[in-house]
Structure 1
Amino acid sequence: MAQAEILLDVKAALGEGPSWDERNGLLYWVDIDGKSLLTYDPATGEQTKATFGKKLGAAVPRQSGGIVLTLEDGFYAYEPGMDEPVLIGAPEGLSQVRFNDGKCDAAGRFWAGTASLTGGTEGALYCMDTDLSIRLVLDGISCSNGLAWSTDNQIMYYIDSPTRNIMAYDYDLSSGQISNPRVAIEVTEAGAVPDGMTIDEEGMIWVALWGGYGIRRWNPHTGELLLKVDVAAEQSSSCIFGGPEYRDLYITSARSGLTEARLADQPLAGGLFIYRNAGQGTPTYAFGG
């Protein structure tokens, strides 16, 4: 058993979508319900917060500078100091959904999905290529969440949270096509569903369990549970490796939906946590468009 420590007691309503910007040594993450982009500089301890007019889902660095975000209805470009992000791409026909988690692959494509606002399966997974074209990859999704790619870029892992499954797909990095879907991990912990996810250099996946008070490290090839990382927040939501050598695991969490009684038992809910010296992590890929 391992224990994460609180890093920032920010009390985010719905912390999510973290990424590491290697160029600037910054951690980005979002507060979905707080409509905010948050940054943290571990070298100085400096924190910033920018609040917008729409809910955010995820934040990734952009190769040409700045950040690309998912907001409720599409992909947006953002530079620090801007009043509002600028729309750069949106799928047609979005209805009864909002964008949620997202991440870039090694070719610089931004993969992000939507979550149903009705509890149905109106959600989908999209891919925005570096030319800003957007294609539908999967539909019939309830709540699109974690994404990760194997270090050899041969496998993509994906989570639609209510299914409680972590799926694996064969992946063609040159085309961005997925095939051969299969269940890599089935989450069986009572009351917990898989949420955000990352992967380490050994090809093991680290998955935040919403309702599970922490992170689980699994071998996706054998299904073996390798490590439990306890987090003092029931709604652990996502995780990403960061720091100079990608050895620290940053963990987001949420307060949204918890009763006052339950919040009293977990006053650090909504905080940003860290599990130090977690192992050799993988970098966050920047958007190439």
Structure 2
Amino acid sequence: MLIYKTNILHRPSTSELRYLPEGPYSCNQGCISWVAIQNGTDAKVGSLNVLNLERDENESFAMDGRPGFAYPTDVAGVFVVGLERQVKLYNTATGECRGISGPVESEVEGTIINDGLVFDEGLIFGCKDLEFKTPKAGLYFWRSSDRQLFQLRDDQLCSNGKVITRDQGRWGFLDIDSPTKRVVAYELDVDAGVISDPQVILDFTSRVDIPDGMIGVPGGQSVIVAFYNPADAAFGEAVQFRLADGEVEAVWRTDHSPRVTCPQLVRYGGGVKLVLTTAVEGMSPDQLGRHTNAGCLFWGDTDFDTVGEQPVFKLRG
């Protein structure tokens, strides 16, 4: 098992941006995008951010709501965003934000979109119960061929990390509903818009911390999971697990920042690095005094020579 020390990549300039960063993703040459889901404990707005890695310059775009995810499209400067209860397109040049799906979660209250992934057939995304109490949040598939929306589940608490899979021509995905502390696998029938029963792939119920964001690694045999630690830990962790048997292959630690939210592989500094977002969310003033790097973005070395698949959302035919 390899243990990597990480370094601070970017310290967001405001407490609002440090509150709940998530979703780093390669978006253009030398840049990554990420979202600040909300600007504080009671805030109902957040932002889309684009960080120039070499210059450590961050451009922030205020959202009219809380963005659970944002991904670049094949149109420069346009992102697909899961905002509150709707999937929208946001143009960073003009500020235009328009819906491409109808609202979700019409049968329940107190949920918003939280995480998602882009793949060849469209989007898979999930929601969270804002009180983290009731398993009522939905899991959805938005099919790009006809812009049809399918609800796959209606009983999640806090939908988080997702990884697309492909086996003998059949689509599937790995999924984390954070409070369950498990990674489960589904087969996805794209034509019918339904999923199989879940199969537990990784079980983290013996851990104190909570699985949050997740990515697949090149080769498809392992995943990297970010762990959000609500306790007063000295560091946070992201861990690489082999899917076949759950073996821990590598660990990245974020000093003085225990609440790691999302991982992503990016090209930086002449190689492939792991970028990790971390959060301030839920910390008392005393904890903030101890966890001085909370809310920062970190980078760590890897032994990968490629970042793997990071598709853009396709708007052009």
TM-score above 0.5, yes or no: yes
Provide the secondary structure at the position in 2 that maps to 1:243: strand
Structure with larger Rg: 2
How far off is 1:84 after superposition? 5.2
How far off is 1:278 after superposition? 4.6
Question: CA, structure 1 residues 76+24, in 2 after alignment: closer, same or farther (shift >3 Å)?
Answer: farther
Letter in 2 for 1:18: P
Structure 2 counterpart of 1:273:
298
2:195 to 147, 153, 178: 178
Letter in 2 for 1:83: G
| Counterpart Cα distance in 2 of 1:88 and 1:231 | 37
**1:157-236 correspondence runs (5 A):** 157-171=174-188, 178-203=195-220, 204-211=222-229, 213-232=236-255, 233-236=257-260
Question: CA, structure 1 residues 7+32, in 2 after alignment: closer, same or farther (shift >3 Å)?
Answer: same
* Structure 2 gaps, min length 5: 40-45, 230-234
| Counterpart Cα distance in 1 of 2:286 and 2:251 | 26
Structure 1 counterpart of 2:115:
101
Provide the secondary structure at the position in 2 that maps to 1:4: strand
| Counterpart Cα distance in 2 of 1:147 and 1:78 | 22
Structure 2 counterpart of 1:71:
83
Q: Is the 8 A contact 1:108 1:288 kept in 2?
A: no
| Counterpart Cα distance in 1 of 2:297 and 2:190 | 32
Cα deviations by residue, 1:17-75 (Å, 9 ceiling, x for unpaired): 22212x44421111111201111122443321111221111110112441111111211
Structure 2 counterpart of 1:247:
272
Structure 1 counterpart of 2:43:
none
1:16 to 22, 26, 32: 22
How far off is 1:227 after superposition? 1.4
| Counterpart Cα distance in 1 of 2:48 and 2:204 | 30
Cα deviations by residue, 1:115-171 (Å, 9 ceiling, x for unpaired): 012321111111112133211112200000000124667541100000000111234
| Counterpart Cα distance in 1 of 2:65 and 2:181 | 28
Structure 1 counterpart of 2:139:
125
Structure 1 counterpart of 2:314:
288
Structure 2 counterpart of 1:53:
64
Measured on the aligned residues, the alpha-carbon RMSD in Å equals 2.3
Structure 1 counterpart of 2:32:
27
How far off is 1:177 after superposition? 5.0
| Counterpart Cα distance in 2 of 1:224 and 1:274 | 23
Provide the secondary structure at the position in 2 that maps to 1:241: strand
Question: CA, structure 1 residues 62+176, in 2 after alignment: closer, same or farther (shift >3 Å)?
Answer: farther
| Counterpart Cα distance in 1 of 2:293 and 2:134 | 31
TM-score (norm 1): 0.91
Q: Is the 8 A contact 2:163 2:216 kept in 1?
A: yes
| Counterpart Cα distance in 1 of 2:204 and 2:105 | 33
How far off is 1:16 after superposition? 1.0
2:157 to 142, 155, 159: 142
How far off is 1:173 after superposition? 6.6
| Counterpart Cα distance in 2 of 1:162 and 1:73 | 21
Q: Is the 8 A contact 1:36 1:55 kept in 2?
A: yes
Q: Matched residue pairs, number?
A: 287
| Counterpart Cα distance in 2 of 1:163 and 1:133 | 29
Provide the secondary structure at the position in 2 that maps to 1:231: strand
TM-score (norm 2): 0.83
Q: Is the 8 A contact 1:246 1:282 kept in 2?
A: no
Provide the secondary structure at the position in 2 that maps to 1:202: coil
* Structure 1 gaps, min length 5: none
| Counterpart Cα distance in 1 of 2:184 and 2:141 | 17
Structure 2 counterpart of 1:83:
95
List structure 1 runs of 4+ shifted beyond 4 angstroms: 151-155, 171-177
